Amino acid sequence: MAKNLVIVESPAKAKTINKFIGKDYVVKASVGHVRDLPKSELGVDEETFEPTYEVLEGKQKVVNELKAIVGPDAWVTFGDAIESEQIFEYLRGIDLLCCPSRTLEGGPTVALEAMAVGTPVIGTRQGALSEMIEDGANGRLVPPADWRALARALREVAANAAEIIPRWRAALPPMRSMDDVVDDYLRLYS
């Protein structure tokens, strides 16, 4: 059976993920970014605005190793960075956002953005995530820094995606505008 490739930037994260992701996966670290726009020219076609990337100095070996693992697999593509104006379109096109924060965050903004476009979130049970996500109803909450619980949650969703994802999407709260937030503050402080 072919193995699935997961690429992360950090070798430490690769080692941790490898512990729980399963034997059908290979986790490799790119050790930072492997490509960027060229330094010697604009790097963007002035008519089509298509970027031209080049492999960063010292990263060709990493790129070659990753391509060797993947081989001619048609399911694998090495994607470009997502431009800020494309974030909502991207988030709308994925099934689920995994947001395993280990520190207390106000939002996090990416979870708010995902939920605003109808994408459910698996996150940690702390801070604002625990106020936004109703565990099991419109997403999943796991304890912070508990990679085993996160792995169980991801396996559960992967095994029942056709049932869970649409149910979670349907239960997401309506998108809130800044006017809604202002109204909340006015009610709170009046």
Q: Which tops the pLDDT comparison, 138 or 25?
A: 138
Q: What is the pLDDT of residues 15-68, one digit of tens each?
A: 877 777 777 777 888 887 887 888 888 877 778 777 788 888 888 888 888 878
182 CB neighbour count, 10 Å cutoff: 10
Residues 64 and 113 in one domain: no
Q: Does residue 14 sit within a domain?
A: yes
Residues 89 and 131 in one domain: yes
**Which residues sit opposite 35 in a β-bridge?**
55
**Whether the predicted model's global pTM rises above the 0.85 cut:** no
The per-residue pLDDT for 1 is 43
Q: Mind spelling out the 3-state secondary structure of 78-111?
A: CCCCCCHHHHHHHHHHCCCEEECCCCCCCCCHHH
Q: Does residue 188 sit within a domain?
A: no
Q: Which tops the pLDDT comparison, 54 or 5?
A: 54
116 CB neighbour count, 10 Å cutoff: 17
Question: Percentage of residues in the chain with pLDDT exceeding 70?
Answer: 89
At 143, which CATH number?
3.40.50.2000
Domain residues for 164? Answer: 84-178
For the chain, how many structural domains are there in total?
A: 2
The per-residue pLDDT for 170 is 96
The per-residue pLDDT for 79 is 57
Task: Say which range, 15-29, 106-120, 149-163, has the weakest mean pLDDT.
Answer: 15-29
Instruction: Mark 14-31 as b/e (b = at least 16 C-beta within 10 Å).
Output: beebeeebeeeebbbbbe
Residues 172 and 89 in one domain: yes
